[in-house]
Amino acid sequence: MNASTRALDSVPSRILALQGGCNFRDIGGYHGAEGREVRWGRVYRTGVLSYFTEMDRDVLKPLGVRAICDLRRVEEREREPTRWPDEAVHLMHWEDGDAPMIRTFAANRPKTPAGMHDSMLDLYHALPAWMAPRIRGFLECIASGKSPVVVHCAAGKDRTGVAVAVLLHALGVSRDVIMQDYLLTNDAGDFEQFITSQHDSQLGLAVNHQPLLAMPEEIRRILFAAHADYLDAAFERIDRDYGGIDGYLSTSVQIHDDALARIREHLLTESA
């Protein structure tokens, strides 16, 4: 068993079990650049932050979170506002722009599992260009020392998955481990159970207030799951348009070497 696999074996310490949380987990422990590891307790990735219970708040307060990077669109934030236990936390969000949405892509595909899979690939092809300002703000937040930080979207899977993948690459984490972290979404929570337990929750994905559970089960499985094909689609688009994640960071995201050095200083342990 190699060191990267051992880091992934610590799932119980990585995933925070929260009654009203969705896919809430720590990205610490992965092996990064120069033999250093990603620090625990510095960056958390998750889904919607609207349904925490009093018991959850007792778990969240000691984390000492200083900033929350909300990757969602305006209407999602209005429908499911953030309810963090510390009102002093710095909330970050961005204008929508020409936001890619799964329902738009799905409207042009067959209403089948294969059609939904292709729609998800369409979404991930579109995410890197649209998310560049969001990823810039997320990384600048870390570079400025505002951590611990939470980064989230609706389910903590798609937009959050791309943002965290870019961050982990910047920290020197291998592509295989980045993918395994992305796929941990499949073990970090039951989205259908979460939606059912929250009367008004639609995870920012439904249209005209129709519940996601009304969709055929075989299509829901495609939509809710993290598939390697999806993140690979984002990587492929980044490789094609920017020559790789390093080029994406320097051109589209506009994060340069000095900021990346500060990010590594904040998030990586000392050299072994």
Q: What are 125-128's contacts with CB under 8 Å, separation 24+?
A: 125/233, 125/234, 125/236, 125/237, 126/100, 126/237, 127/100, 127/158, 127/159, 127/162, 127/234, 128/162, 128/234, 128/237, 128/238, 128/241, 128/242, 128/248, 128/252
Q: What is the pLDDT of residue 12?
A: 42
Q: Can you give the CATH number for the domain in which 59 is found?
A: 3.90.190.10
Residue 208, classed as helix, strand or coil, is coil
Give the 3-state secondary structure of 125-140.
HHHHHHHHHHHHHHHH
> For residues 149 and 136, what is the distance between their CA atoms, to the nearest angstrom?
14
In a domain, 272, yes or no: no
2 pLDDT more than 90? no
236 pLDDT more than 70? yes
**Through-space distance between the first and last CA atoms of the chain, rounded to whole angstroms:** 19
Count of domains for the chain? 1
Q: What is the pLDDT of residue 196?
A: 63
DSSP code per residue over 242-256: HSSHHHHIIIII---
Q: What is the pLDDT of residue 70?
A: 98
With cut-offs at 50, 70 and 90, classify the pLDDT of residue 188: confident
Q: What is the pLDDT of residue 213?
A: 63
Mean pLDDT of 173-179: 98
With cut-offs at 50, 70 and 90, classify the pLDDT of residue 200: low
Question: Cα 110 from chain centroid?
Answer: 27
Range of the domain at 257: 3-267
Least confident of 17-31, 55-69, 180-194: 180-194
- Which helix (H) or strand (E) segment holds residue 218: the answer is helix 217-224
Least confident of 79-88, 106-115, 207-216, 225-234: 207-216
Neighbours of 197 (CB within 10 A): 12
Q: What is the pLDDT of residue 194?
A: 74
Q: What is the pLDDT of residue 1?
A: 39
Q: What is the pLDDT of residue 271?
A: 73
10 pLDDT more than 60? no
Q: Which residue has the tokens 């492929």?
A: 236
DSSP label at residue 68: E
In a domain, 9, yes or no: yes
> For residues 246 and 253, what is the distance between their CA atoms, to the nearest angstrom?
10
Mean pLDDT of 63-86: 95
Mean pLDDT of 134-143: 98
Q: What is the pLDDT of residue 212?
A: 61
